[in-house]
Chain A
Amino acid sequence: MPIFLHTADWQIGRQYPAFEPDNAVPMAAARLEAVHRLAQLAATEGAQAVLVAGDVFDAQTVSDKTVRQLFQAMAGWAGPWVLLPGNHDAALAESVWSRAQRLGVVPPNVHLALKPEVLLLPEAGLALLPAPLTQRHTHNDLTTWFDTVDTPPGLLRVGLAHGSITGILAEDIDSANPIAPDRATRARLDYLALGDWHGARQIDARTWYSGTPEPDRFRNNEAGLALRVQIDGPGERPVVTPLSVGQLRWQQWEAGLHQAGDVALLVERLQAMSPADVLDITLQGELDLAAHQRLDAALAEAEARLRSLRVDRHGLRLRPTDADLAALHADGYVGEVVAELRDDAEAGSDVAREALVQLTALLAELAPETPAGGSHAAA
């Protein structure tokens, strides 16, 4: 009753340059953490093997330290790990794999499937047919050879490949490495473990994408899982169970803010977020001074609390009311300037909007005794 874990797209060494350094570093560390968790899961689920369907590393030129860290993370489970090169870490003439071998960090229980040849794991009851990428991109179906090769009877025929199932994932795939959609049937496979697609996805009864164990983008596509595959014997139907592995939740919101209530709603949602959240908010609408200040406060608080918070305010306009301005003592010529900037800001000038924000902030500083937002909030 062989049980194995199917995972892929670890992308170890991946950095997050678009994020603030204090957020990006833990996000990168979370990827290694996922490997630790997989090792734990393999033990607790009683797996006989862990199959990694490509893109173990994010790049060929990750540092030696990163390479060592990966193999150290895998040490938590002593069973057989099978690592397949993907498009990010193809088995090129010189590759991260040859480097790992040179460094001598690959333990005996870790099998590098660098060549398209049958790999037997009799203890696990598996005959593996790997289709490693030996170029960065290929336009041939590397799994074709599965059809014609024989494996010892009694062992499960399990294919291991990295690429896109032709005709199904054409739009969103990471690379152009094609895989025939009926490969599992044609090659008499018990299971075809695929990588490259970052969300878990079933193609047919015997063909699955496991997705990445740790999400790395905002697209909501069942990321952060590993697949527990149980096949009772050759020819038997696989039982596939998704297991949660990932730590971080990646979310993208769009919020239209037009009145104080909208802000209050957004603030509530923000308060519900946890330090495991990576959040991206796009704001639109227009707010008076008080609501604007409240929004600023809530966003600042959330930014400190969440793993990462990014806010696009481009569509948001500050529209101080006359009462706001009166409260700020924006009389005389300053009042004239405020009015003028407000008009320009409404006409779409980012500079005028920023100038208005600066000016109102200055006025608030200069007249601190006036509770600018208080009276308005009640209105």
Chain B
Amino acid sequence: MLLRELRVEQLRQFREPYVLGALSPGLNLLTGPNEAGKSTLVRAIRAAFFERHRSTTMQDLQPWGDSGAAPAIDLRFEHAGVPYVLSKRFVHRKRCDLSVGAQKLDGTDAEDHLARLLGFDFALKGASKPDHWGIPGLLWIEQGCAQELHASVAHAADHLRGALGGQTDELASSLGDAVLERVAARRAELLTPGTGKPAGAYRQAQADEAEWRAALAEIDGRLTTYQAQVDELAALRAEHQRDEREQPWLALRRRQEVAETALKDVASWQAELMRVEAQAQELSQRRTLLQDQLEANRRTEEAQERRVAQLVTRRARVSEVREQVEAARLRAQQADVALGAARAAHQAAQRAARRHELHQQHTEALRQSAEQQALLDQARDHAARLQALRAQTVPVVIPPADVKALSAALDGLRDLAVQESVLATRMEVRLQPGQRVYLNGEALEGEAVRSLLDDTEIDVPGVGTLRLRPGGRDLASLAATRREHETRLTDLCERWQLQQRSPGLLDEAQARNQAAVAHAAELAQAEQTLRLLAPQGVEALEGRLAAGRLRAQALATELSVLSPAAQIEQAGHADEPQADAVVLAEQRRQAEAAEMQALREQQETQLALQTAREALATAEAALHHDEAECQRLAAELADPQRQAAREQARRQLAEVVAQVDDLARRVASQRERIDAAQPEALQRDVTRFRQSADLALARHRERHEQLIRLESTLQAEGTQGLAEHRADLQARLTQVQRRLAEYQLRAEALTLLQQRLQVHRQALTARLQAPLQAHLQRYLRLLFPQARIELDEHLHPRLLARGQPGAEEHADVHALSFGAREQLGIISRLAYADLLREAGRPTLIILDDALVHTDPARLDAMKRVLLDAAERHQILLFSCHPELWQDLGVPERRIDRARLSAGAC
């Protein structure tokens, strides 16, 4: 198909006629800025074909605001060498004329003819929609829609299949898809579509099979048990009957009785043995008794002999000890005498030393008394002086503040006096002698001068009274001040007993203060001195002196008592008291040591004497005891009764010994007899036979109970109809297993069928798509060298494989970038166009501002693609980016409404 010319009038921005003519067979580049009318021209082409001229919804074609406009579109094109002229007007004066070569068509006929030719449908009602657009919808790519392929391909599917089907009719199966669908549906009844696991009745059959199989195993187990129990019952019954017949416990009881009898005999033998043994025991005790008696006799005789020998020794000992006592007594007397001498010497030495010591102490005491007397005299003097000081009258000290106040008051009065003398009313009186006037009661005579400060009454006798009132406020104020000062002065003087009128009042106060201070200092000094002399007071000093004197007196008394001779001796040696004292002490020590020595010796001799006396007493007592004992034993041994008893004991002992031997022989023989009978073994036999009999009986009874139990168990189980139940289960299991096998075979068959059908269908699809694939591959090589594209069964590009064969990267087309999808969208459409062209269908390709998202390298490749396609198809490429397409090698046609609308057509 070759579009030659497009003319529009009263159509949107093209109010005036606009002609786009001289379109070339290959690539046409139509450029213009936004709003220039590119899209309007595309819309015009679409409206001319897709919209019924009678449509009532075409107002959008009218210029804006011009409801009276009748949008008109005229197209001239060729197809298969036949020229077509289409002229259409919408909204008003609706019209459609088509000339096909010499043939003229109009109205709906013309429109339907075009639809068949181009491969699209009309909307039954209203404006045309994408699903009606068919082949043009696929090849006329709207702005920004190149990448969206699915819907467009779907709407053109029949035409595309038609184009392919012309070549592949023979291969296509008329029923294949329906068969495949039913196979899938039937398989889904048996298997889950995803995992292929048994489902529905198949799964139920599996579950049933497992259930019946388990149930069958269970019942088989019960049957086995039942049979085993029947066998057990038979065995038990046989055993039970044998026991009933034989009664084995009776034989055991008999053997038990035999053993018991034997055991009884042994027991009687044992009793006899015990009796004999007791007898032997008794005799044995008697023998011991007799032996003891004889032994005691023998020991008594021996003791008597020993004691007689001992008496001699004891007497020698007594005389020896007596001599020792005498010697000791002599030594003790000598020691007493020596002690008396030593004691006297010691006492003399002690006295001499004491005397010397007392003398020294006495001398010291006299010296101390003299010193204390002197100290006491001094202290008394000071005390007297202190007394005198304290007795003096001490003026009272005036505090410095009051001295200052006094001074201030005096100063103030002095100042006032000066001021008053200035201000006061001076009254000079010169009276006649004898005459007298009374000034405020004061009698004035002769001449007098007075300064008046206050109201003054002058009484002139016989005349009357004159009242003077000194003028001026200041005077009154001064008087007040003066009274104030005077009052304070009076107060101070009264407080501190000063002569107010004394002229040296202030000096007096200060002198008084100085005198008080001097007195206080003197007093403090006196007190200090006395304290040093007598810290505890004078009375303490006096006491101490008295005590010292008393002590001296006591010492003197002691000395005199001690020995006047010694005192004289002492006095003679007074010049060397020190040496004398040392000698005396040495003498005293020696005397003391001598006395101690004498005392020790005396004590030792006393002790020796004591010891000797005690030894004597002990020896004498032992002698007496032995003598008495010897006499007693001699008497005892000589007793004839005792002699007879001893003889009898000897005889009895001989008899008893003989009897004991006899009994021992009897015991031995009895023991032998008992051992031979083996009583423990007999006892064990009794137990064994008794227990065996009991056990046999118990086993018999138990078996009988077991029999009854087993019988009832079997009776109960027997009524269950296990055999029939089992057969029933077996039947069900067989059924379900047969069904299961059928399901399994059927499921496998359907799976196989589905797989085979799909494989063959895919192979067929691939064969059918081969021409389209070839066209697509041709463009793809220009865009992505070494890439392959796979189509799905709806003829969409599905998978893009890039890279070397064997190491290809696969990418789902939907997952590619927008740019890549747009590029693939365009080359797919070009491939469809090739396919349609080969099938003899008209192809016109319109690209409205496509590939704006394409990078320069890809855009270059796409240009090659477009130029390649342009050799077979007319392509209208609208763009608002003329600079992108300058290297296409085709003239650029600018759509310029203003210029072209004015130009001639």
Question: Which A residues lie at the B interface, using CB under 8 A?
Answer: 13-21, 24, 58-66, 92-96, 99, 102, 136, 329-337, 340-341, 350-352, 354-355, 357-359, 362-363, 365-367
Contact = CB atoms under 8 A, between A and B. Distances in A.
Contacts of B715: 94, 99, 102
B757 interface: yes
Nearest to B733: A17
B723 A61 contact: yes
Contact of A63 (B720, B731, B763): B720
A61 B720 contact: yes
Nearest to A14: B727
Contacts of A334: 173, 175-176, 179, 757, 760
Contact of A61 (B171, B722, B733, B756): B722
B745 A20 contact: no
Interface string B177-192: 0110011001000000
Contacts of B717: 61
Q: Which label, helix, strand, loop or mixed, suits the secondary structure of the B interface?
A: helix
Given A94-B711, A355-B749, A64 B178 contact: no
Interface string B727-771: 111111111000000000110111011001100110110000000
B728 A337 contact: no
B763 A332 contact: no
B731 A337 contact: no
A14 B727 CA distance: 8
Contact of A99 (B183, B718, B753): B718
A94 B230 contact: yes
Given A66-B724, A94-B233, A350 B745 contact: yes
B540 to A, nearest CB: 142
A19 B731 contact: yes
A363 B178 CA distance: 9
B714 A94 contact: yes
Nearest to A337: B756
A330 to B, nearest CB: 8
Q: Which label, helix, strand, loop or mixed, suits the secondary structure of the A interface?
A: helix
A359 to B, nearest CB: 6
Nearest to B764: A333
Given A15-B728, A354-B748, A363 B175 contact: yes
A354 B763 CA distance: 24
A60 B230 contact: yes
A78 to B, nearest CB: 28
B723 A59 contact: yes
Nearest to B742: A354
A333 B766 CA distance: 12
Given A15-B727, A332-B764, A358 B183 contact: yes
Contact of B226 (A61, A66, A99, A367): A61
Contact of A351 (B233, B745, B764): B745
A332 B720 contact: no
A335 B764 CA distance: 12
B757 to A, nearest CB: 5
Given A334-B173, A334-B176, A359-B753, A66 B237 contact: no
A303 to B, nearest CB: 14
B175 A62 contact: no
A279 B767 CA distance: 53
Interface of B: 171-176, 178-179, 182-183, 186, 223, 226-227, 229-231, 233-234, 237, 711, 714-715, 717-725, 727-735, 745-746, 748-750, 752-753, 756-757, 760-761, 763-764
A362 B761 contact: no
Given A19-B731, A61-B718, A354-B746, 9 more contacts: A14-B727, A15-B730, A17-B728, A59-B724, A94-B711, A94-B714, A354-B748, A355-B756, A358-B186
A333 B237 contact: no
A341 to B, nearest CB: 7
Contact of B750 (A14, A16, A60, A358): A358
A65 B171 contact: no
A19 B727 CA distance: 11
A341 B229 CA distance: 57
A96 B719 CA distance: 9
A60 B724 CA distance: 10
B731 A16 contact: yes
Given A17-B727, A17-B733, A19-B731, A354 B749 contact: yes
B721 A352 contact: no
Given A15-B730, A17-B730, A351 B752 contact: yes
Contact of B179 (A15, A18, A363): A363
Contact of B719 (A15, A64, A362): A64
A354 B750 CA distance: 8
A341 B735 CA distance: 29
Contacts of B172: 332
B753 A355 contact: yes
Query: Which of A13, A65, A96, A332 counts the most chain B CB atoms within 10 A?
Result: A332
Contacts of A66: 721, 724
Contacts of B724: 13, 15, 59, 61-63, 66
30 contacts: A13-B724, A15-B730, A15-B731, A17-B730, A17-B732, A18-B731, A18-B734, A19-B731, A20-B735, A60-B230, A62-B721, A63-B724, A66-B724, A93-B237, A94-B229, A96-B718, A102-B715, A136-B227, A329-B174, A331-B173, A333-B173, A334-B173, A334-B757, A336-B760, A354-B749, A355-B756, A358-B746, A359-B183, A362-B183, A363-B175
Contacts of A60: 226-227, 230, 718, 723
B751 to A, nearest CB: 9
Contacts of B763: 333
A337 B730 contact: no
A47 to B, nearest CB: 30
Contacts of B745: 350-351, 354
Query: Which of A16, A62, A93, A362 counts the most chain B CB atoms within 10 A?
Result: A93
A61 B749 contact: no
A65 B723 CA distance: 12
Contact of A366 (B178, B721, B727, B748): B178
Contacts of B746: 354, 358
Nearest to A61: B722
B178 A333 contact: no
A359 B750 CA distance: 9
Contacts of A357: 749
A102 B718 CA distance: 11
A309 to B, nearest CB: 14
A330 B757 CA distance: 12
Contacts of A341: 752-753, 756
A250 B173 CA distance: 49
Given A17-B733, A331-B174, A333-B761, A63 B721 contact: yes
Contacts of B234: 92-93
